[in-house]
Amino acid sequence: MTDGAAKRRIGVLGGMGPEATVLFMSRVIKLTPARDDRDHVPLIVDDNTQVPSRIKALIEKTGDDPAPVLADMARRLEAAGAEALAMPCNTAHHFAPAIVGAVDIPFLNMVDLAVERVAPLAQANKRVGLLASPAVRLIGLFDRAFAERGISLLYPDDDDRLLAAIRAIKVDSTDASAVQTLRAAATELTGKGADVLVIACSEFSIIADTVESSLAVVDTIDVLAQAAIDFASHQDDGSSNSNGDWRMSA
């Protein structure tokens, strides 16, 4: 992109949770090579804390369907001028087809982007350790995409402890027990033979810098932030990064 060219606006489906949304925005700012305000990515953010609980919908089977709310958010962001959408919540990507079907602008799919980034790093044992919500394992959010590349996924054994840690971070992102849980899970997955660890929960992204591992650690929030920067900076000249390349098929 040439200097001074306008940046394309990214619409953010946020609020899941609020601190993770702010973290994503800060990562976009941090990763952007900028000398002035105009060099940064324009963000239109819907910090909708009223999206129905993904945990209640997917794990407990007692909550409302988040899909209609997410689709409405996507439509509002498009109407507000967003030229692509990003959603810094891994579990909510289960409902990505509803988002894609609601708008005519690209959806930067964090799951697909993360798999593309991580797969080349998992060539020794062909195993990826996923630090994520138990809902991600339950719905197999990443499984098929990695399986297509001959890579298997490893998950921590204690779902209840992981879920408790996520809930604790939502209350207090400095919670010591949550930090201990994440570190223990990282050690467990390393011991199981993972080639690389993936932070695939935006709450865990908040405390990702506490993970101590000899392995490469890829944070899906960072991957999505870089994709937002790349899209915003891309000149609309009809080359490779078109709608079809960025969007997830419904």
pLDDT of 141 higher than 90? yes
- Quick one: tokens of 30? 């941090």
Domain ranges of the chain: 10-109+222-246, 112-219
Residue 117 CB coordination number (10 Å): 17
Please tell me the predicted confidence (pLDDT) of residue 4: 57
Average pLDDT value for residue range 67-89 = 98
Residue 247 banded pLDDT, cuts 50, 70, 90: very low
Residue 197 banded pLDDT, cuts 50, 70, 90: very high
- Quick one: tokens of 81? 């001028």
Strand partners of residue 47: 14
Average pLDDT value for residue range 182-191 = 97
Residue 116 banded pLDDT, cuts 50, 70, 90: very high
| DSSP per position, 4-55 | TPPPPPEEEEE-SSHHHHHHHHHHHHHHS--SSGGGSPPEEEEE-TTSPPHH
Residue 6 banded pLDDT, cuts 50, 70, 90: confident
pLDDT for 33-69, tens place per residue? 999 999 999 999 999 999 999 989 998 999 899 999 9
On the question of a common fold for 10-109+222-246 and 112-219, the answer reads: yes
Please tell me the predicted confidence (pLDDT) of residue 3: 52
Please tell me the predicted confidence (pLDDT) of residue 96: 97
CA distance readout (Å), 36 to 24, 33, 51, 128, 134:
20, 9, 34, 38, 41
Inter-residue contact 7 to 82 (CB < 8 Å)? no
Specify the pTM. Answer: 0.91
Average pLDDT value for residue range 98-104 = 98
Average pLDDT value for residue range 116-130 = 97
When the candidates are 3.40.50.1860, 3.30.830.10, 1.25.60.10, 1.10.760.10, the CATH number that belongs to 10-109+222-246 is 3.40.50.1860
pLDDT for 199-242, tens place per residue? 999 999 999 999 999 999 999 999 999 999 999 998 443 333 33
Thinking of the domain 112-219, which architecture would CATH place it in?
3-Layer(aba) Sandwich (3.40)
